[in-house]
């Protein structure tokens, strides 16, 4: 018997009242209300637990409700986050092979458009690449709002029709750009406005494309230097599987063993990151690479969202002094271009609202914690990790090439 069943059945059960239940004029049991001479009325629901004993064994009632609730929760979790047989989260992937720089998708200012959402860490790293490369003047962006009640499929909608197809949610954009598309309508999404075609919805591929694009006025920053590519790939694999996706595997696990495994992998990987950052300023040496842009979205959300909602609370960012200083360093970096800076790339309060109110199987009440807020994270404090000078922070491209590197 589920909690919902109890709610539906309790009002129509007819017999003598129990406990504080009072009989209405129609002979139906009314919800018991605790009366206090000096305080407000207290709602006890239907007072079912006050009936247990002679009428219904409490153990049987509690077990039935727990099993029903758990079944409903696991069903919703599988819809939200596909599961393997052992209760582990399995992130879906889609195979779009097009790239900016291919013959069908030439490098051209104003030709491409990206759909992103503030709460999404995969969108965040694409936005960071746009900012660092100074491409926001060449590639337009539409911000999507996360609202699965308004969305026709998936969770992304637009508060006004988006500019490429005039659609109201991301599913309609997918349908317009990719005939007979089936699958999750995820962001980020890169579109060719001229051909009205989908280019990619894989954030790793989009980041590599953006690093290789050369257009007038963009920066010469190289996020994927040739001599460091093997090392960057190695750390990317660790960060993606154990940290970026690791927090989701922890939060979306439906069995204890799967959660325990994800947690062990997460903290082992964070130990590796802390060790690397104790030796040099960034993840791969003393200059920023794409590896840092891929880690940053998870770490800036960690204490405010993942530690609480995804049960990643054994340690906080402040328990890793080098990681905390790195986070402050990243937040304060100045990119040599007009427009957005790294610190402008996320609204932490809005992201937390999204996590706690929209992922309802994890937080059915929808209550959003009071913090930690952006101010609580204290990201403007001195980091002591080095100069902000352009050449001290960034690798600069030696050759200009419009052919994106393979991921």
Enumerate residues 6+ apart whose C-beta is below 8 A from 279.
none
Catalytic residue list contains 355: no
Mark residue 285 as left, alpha or beta (left: phi above 0; alpha: psi -120 to 50; beta: remaining): left
Distance CA 87, CA 253 (A): 6
Closest by CA position to 98, among listed 87, 85, 86, 111: 111
Positions of E strands within 176-248: 189-192, 197-200
* Structure-token match 């409903």, residue found: 72
Return phi, psi of residue 190, to 5°. Answer: -105, 125
Catalytic residue list contains 120: yes
Distance CA 394, CA 356 (A): 36
Selecting among 89, 112, 120, 355, the annotated active-site residue is 120
Selecting among 248, 259, 302, 355, the annotated active-site residue is 248
Distance CA 295, CA 202 (A): 16
Distance CA 171, CA 193 (A): 17
Distance CA 362, CA 345 (A): 26
How many H helices and E strands in the chain? 15, 7
- Please identify every residue annotated as catalytic: 120, 248
């Amino acid at each position: 018997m589920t909690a919902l069943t109890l709610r539906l059945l309790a009002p129509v059960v007819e017999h003598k009242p129990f406990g504080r239940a009072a009989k209405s004029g129609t002979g139906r049991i009314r919800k018991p209300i605790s009366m206090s001479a000096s305080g407000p009325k207290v709602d006890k629901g239907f007072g079912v637990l006050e009936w247990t004993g002679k009428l219904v064994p409490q153990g049987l009632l509690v077990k039935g409700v727990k099993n029903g609730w758990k079944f409903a929760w696991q069903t919703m979790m599988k819809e939200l986050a596909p599961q393997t047989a052992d209760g582990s989260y399995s992130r879906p992937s889609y195979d779009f092979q097009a790239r900016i720089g291919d013959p069908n998708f030439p490098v051209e200012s104003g030709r491409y458009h990206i759909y992103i959402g503030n709460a999404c860490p995969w969108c965040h790293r694409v936005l960071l690449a746009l900012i660092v490369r100074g491409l926001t003047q060449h590639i337009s962006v539409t911000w999507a709002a996360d609202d699965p009640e308004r969305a026709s499929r998936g969770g992304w909608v637009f508060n006004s029709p988006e500019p490429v197809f005039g659609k109201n949610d991301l599913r309609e954009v997918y349908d317009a750009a990719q005939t007979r598309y089936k699958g999750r309508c995820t962001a980020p999404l890169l579109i060719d406005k001229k051909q009205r075609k989908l280019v990619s919805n894989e954030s790793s591929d989009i980041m590599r494309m953006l690093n290789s694009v050369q257009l007038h006025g963009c920066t010469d920053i190289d996020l994927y230097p040739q001599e460091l590519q093997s090392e960057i790939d190695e750390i990317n694999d660790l960060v993606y599987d154990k940290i970026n996706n690791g927090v989701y595997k922890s939060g979306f696990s439906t069995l204890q063993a799967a959660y325990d495994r994800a947690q062990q992998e997460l903290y082992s990987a964070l130990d590796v990151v802390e060790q690397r950052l104790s030796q040099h300023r960034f993840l791969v040496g003393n200059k920023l690479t794409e590896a840092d842009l891929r880690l940053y979205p998870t770490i800036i959300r960690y204490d405010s969202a993942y530690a609480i909602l995804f049960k990643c609370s054994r340690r906080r960012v402040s328990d890793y002094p080098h990681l905390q200083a790195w986070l402050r360093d990243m937040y304060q970096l100045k990119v040599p271009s007009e427009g957005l800076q790294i610190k402008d790339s996320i609204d932490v309060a809005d992201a937390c609202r999204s996590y706690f109110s929209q992922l309802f199987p994890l937080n059915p009440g929808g209550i959003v914690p009071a913090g930690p807020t952006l101010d609580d994270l204290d990201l403007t404090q001195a980091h002591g990790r080095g100069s902000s000078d352009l050449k001290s922070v960034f690798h600069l491209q030696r050759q200009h090439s419009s052919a994106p590197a393979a991921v």
